[in-house]
Amino acid sequence: MSKPKAISVLSGGLDCTVATSIYSDKYDITAITFNYGQQSFDREVKAAKKVCEKLEMEHIIIDLPWLKEISNSSLTTDDEIPTPTDEDLDNIEVAQQTAKSVWVPARNTVFCSIALAYAEAMGAKIIIVGWDYEEAITFPDNSKEYLDAFNKTIEYGSFDSIQIKAPLINLDKDDIVRTGIEYNAPIEDSYSCYTGSELHCGVCESCKRRRRAFEKLKIEDPTEYEN
């Protein structure tokens, strides 16, 4: 019997790699990586391709040049990407300012709308995303409330019974790493850095949260950092 189909919104990052791995045995997954002009696109695609090879998934790349054109995010412009201190990671005011700097207009809403279109066209049952509790504190489109609202939108906006699945929605980064190990996720192939450097920069917020997760668990971090 063939597996039910699924769509994964896969940037190649830690969170979406773990989330997708959770469903990889039970679903025939097609992964979508979006190019919206982010500095890290080349490295994200490289990571996503490796993850897809390991999990035996089809991989699609979708270009969204218009999203770069309307965005003033430090991820898509020459603006300096914030480099918070370790203490800043738990300072809500500082973290919110960092989030605003890297915010791309309606990014997850755009991604999930496109993923929904693919799910309808391909007869997929679920859309997999890597949203988590730690990032939801500063990114509203990672929250449980956003997840519930988008799933409610799908109920009204689609003939098909499709759900967005966010299995990490209640987890911090260390819990995500622990879950990834449990499901044998190819964490070593994932890429989380905002800068797009060959190695993880080690100083942007995404790198710091990734590194801290392994340190909290007191386990070896397979990630190579420049700093």
Domains and CATH numbers, the chain: 5-217 (3.40.50.620)
Pairing of strands 163-165, 28-35: unpaired
Residue 148 and residue 131: Cα distance in Å, rounded?
A: 12
Of 209, 222, 204, 218, which Cα lies nearest the Cα of 73? 204
Is 201 assigned to a binding site?
Answer: yes
Known binding residue 112? Answer is: no
Edge to edge, the sheet with strand 163-165 lists 58-63, 28-35, 5-9, 126-128, 163-165
For residue 18, the model assigns a pLDDT of 98
State yes or no: 52 annotated in a binding site: no
User: What average pLDDT does the structure give for the chain?
Assistant: 97
Residues 148-181 pLDDT 10s: 999 999 999 999 999 999 999 999 999 999 999 9
Token pair for 209? 């949260």
**193 labelled as ligand-binding?**
yes
What is the arithmetic mean of pLDDT over 42-59? 98
Amino acid letter, 25: D
Give the pLDDT confidence score for residue 15 in this predicted structure: 98
13 is in an annotated binding site: yes
Q: Whole-structure pTM over 0.85, yes or no?
A: yes
Q: Is 10 annotated as a binding residue?
A: yes
Answer yes or no: is 6 a known binding residue. no
**Cα(13)–Cα(43) distance, rounded to whole angstroms?**
10
179 annotated to bind ligand: no
**Per residue in 93-103, pLDDT tens?**
999 999 999 99
Q: Is 67 part of any known ligand binding site?
A: no
**Backbone phi and psi for residue 195, each to the nearest 5 degrees, phi listed first:** -85, -25
12 belongs to an annotated ligand binding site: yes
Q: Is 102 annotated as a binding residue?
A: no
pLDDT digits (tens, 9 = 90+) for 133-155: 999 999 999 999 999 999 999 99
Angle at 219 between CA 217 and CA 98, to 5 degrees: 60
